[in-house]
Structure 1
Amino acid sequence: MFIHASLVCLFKKSHKAAAILKEKIKQHEISGGGLKTYVETRWTTVHECVSSIVRLKNCLEDIRDNHSEVITTPAILTILHSRGFFSDMQHLSEVLFPVEAANSTLADAYVNLMKIAAVIQNLPADEYKGFRNHCIKKFNHRFEEFNDPAYQLAFFLHPAYKGAGLKFGAFSLIANYAGELWQKMGKSKKSCEKLLAQMRIYKEQICIVNGKPNPYVAPYTIGSDTPLMWWNTCEVKPNYLQRLAIKLFSITPSSAACERMFSSLGWLYGKCRTRLEINKLEGLAKVYQFNLSTAAEKFHKTQTEISPETMKNIAETVFNEFEEEAFLEESENAELPNPAEHLYTNEQDLNLDISNMINFQSSIFNSNGNNNEHEESSDDESSDEDDEDDEYDVNEIVISIERMQCT
């Protein structure tokens, strides 16, 4: 990202370059504003930065060819002249788009991770071999953090996908983890057997089960439904699978608010205020966060003719300037890498670790929730959940059910 940071930093710090870029944007009638910055602790902003470079390709090429004197850094000019730079940015933008669009459930995190892997898998292996291998190395390193059965179970229980894309044999691993999780919740062996049976019915997606409609085949509308909403209305007795799914989809792994606060603390502390006491820094952060959260309401009271949405956009623009200043300070001394690095290499093609479990030919990779608390039912179906038989082997139950299915 040093290349993108240095390019953005040049047009942010040079008034002449910024003015020419603004003029070119008007001439080419490009919407969406100028070049976007990114913050390291807010990883969703990286896609905005890269996509802005792709969006302003014509403007940057015009400046490169007709106003090269405003580009005072020779390395930047070399990068803009390099063959395939904007094509590389386009591929990188496609890789980062699932990250930018990620939601806040375990399943959504895993789905978007799979989509990133699918984009990397489809990168040209010849022309972008070095870049592709670099992406695979980074992805495999990060995938270790998400290679957890909890994410796979949440993806399996997501009603929009229902395990689509999982390779043969993945269900046994997921079912085994679901049983272990159910056992840790203090549930009995009998209820665990019923839970795994419900998982098989959910996986098969058969319309009629034992002469009754299968509630697990109910449709899911992306954009209107949420996993919690769907599972809350999936009425089955006993509701073991429903309760397990609701627990999983009640987990929100997003740390965006925490990351944003750390960005604010970095701007407040800076490089010069090294003797700022912790208590004083905490007080400044509280004032900053309070002003940020109440700015739209306060401005709306004094300017009644301006809508609250407009005031919110103004407040975000003003406070985001603080983070841009921190971005520029970090970027101005960044060392540019060699733009030709990794373009030509004889290294062998690498493989994605996630490919052992995921089928990238699935249709879910070709497409692009509010959480409500759910009170667990206390009906009589829970009578066999918590008996004394809580010492059992989950794997043995999974194997026995599979044998029954085969016979």
Structure 2
Amino acid sequence: IKKHLEPLALAANITQATYCRLDQVLITFGILFSKFSSILNTPNDPTDCVPLMRATLKSIEKRCEKSDQDIFIAPVILNPLYKASPFSSSVKFMTATGVWELCSRLWMRFYKEEAPIQLYRELVSYLSNQDRYGKLPDHIRRETALAASENKSVNPMSIYIAMTNLVNPLPTPLERLARHQLTVSANSASCERLFSAFGLILTRLRSRMSIKSMTDLAEL
């Protein structure tokens, strides 16, 4: 029972967390698919579990097929912790040109304009750890160590922030696109908890508090 239910429990905890990113959703589905495929191919696994495993795999495939795949694939690639590592080598578009085409489509959708050529140059540098991203592995090690010392998961945006030019803090095209996708909450848990907090704060005794004070209390 533990072997079959534990992956589902972990997936539920991740996707229903207060803050769940888009890249975490795709990674979670990938882990689920890998786990259940492995269980299905285990010779000693009880035969009565086979229909359950097949139904779960079919459900995952169906949901992924119906989803807006670009929206979930791009955040994984733009997460410095992952880049292309979670994807199979058989994925044809997993090249610098393929990633550029993916990001340029999203750029057009988000900003209603053609993606700047600077984005392509920056993507190539980012994927190969060159130029401004030459010290990216060092930033990742530091942020990972810091997060581990605080018993937290690494926020990929903190890596981008660490590389922001202090003199000219305007985001580069890649940083702009990454921020647009890596700061999205993939569920409504954060909103629901915020409204629950407001319900506890907005009482008859505190009804005259300003919006800012209420927001500060809710965030605490």
Query: For the superposition of Structure 1 and Structure 2, which TM-score range results when normalised by the shorter chain?
Result: 0.5 to 0.7
1:111 matched to which residue of 2? 27
* Cα pair distance change 1:233/1:200, threshold 3 Å: same
Q: Deviations over 1:10-61 (max 9, x none)?
A: xxxxxxxxxxxxxxxxxxxxxxxxxxxxxxxxxxxxxxxxxxxxxxxxxxxx
Q: Deviations over 1:268-316 (max 9, x none)?
A: xxxxxxxxxxxxxxxxxx9xx5796349xx9xxxxxxxxxxxxxxxxxx
Q: 2:173 aligns with which of 226, 234, 240?
A: 240
Q: 1:144 aligns with which of 43, 65, 82?
A: 65
TM-score (norm 1): 0.38
1:316 matched to which residue of 2? none
Counterpart AA for 2:93: A
Q: CA deviation at 1:97?
A: 1.2
Q: 1:216 aligns with which of 136, 141, 148?
A: 136
Q: CA deviation at 1:240?
A: 1.4
2:210 matched to which residue of 1? none
* Cα pair distance change 1:215/1:235, threshold 3 Å: farther
1:93 matched to which residue of 2? 6
Distance 2:22 2:181 in 1: 8
2:200 matched to which residue of 1? 293
Unaligned runs of 5+ in 2: 206-218
1:254 aligns with 2:174: no
* Cα pair distance change 1:95/1:118, threshold 3 Å: farther
Between 237-246 and 212-221, the greater mean CA deviation after superposition: 212-221
1:117–1:139 Cα contact (<8 Å) kept:
yes
1:177 aligns with 2:177: no
Counterpart AA for 1:123: I
Q: Please tell me the root mean square deviation across aligned C-alpha atoms, in Å.
A: 3.4
Q: CA deviation at 1:246?
A: 0.9
Structure 1 runs (4+) greater than 6 angstroms displaced? 258-261
Counterpart AA for 2:26: Y
Q: Deviations over 1:115-143 (max 9, x none)?
A: 21121121143434222212112212222
Counterpart AA for 2:163: C
Could you tell me the percent identity over the aligned residues?
15
1:152–1:174 Cα contact (<8 Å) kept:
no
What are the residue-to-residue correspondences of 1:293-372 with 2, within 5 Å? 293-294=200-201
Q: Deviations over 1:158-211 (max 9, x none)?
A: 12212212134233443212112224425556xx222112112211235xx4xx
Distance 2:114 2:78 in 1: 21
Unaligned runs of 5+ in 1: 1-87, 262-285, 299-369, 371-407
* Cα pair distance change 1:214/1:132, threshold 3 Å: same
Distance 1:98 1:256 in 2: 15
Secondary structure of 2:39's match?
A: coil
Q: CA deviation at 1:113?
A: 1.6
Secondary structure of 1:248's match?
A: helix
Secondary structure of 2:164's match?
A: coil
Distance 2:102 2:187 in 1: 23
Distance 1:122 1:147 in 2: 26
1:200 matched to which residue of 2? 124
Q: Deviations over 1:45-94 (max 9, x none)?
A: xxxxxxxxxxxxxxxxxxxxxxxxxxxxxxxxxxxxxxxxxxx3432223
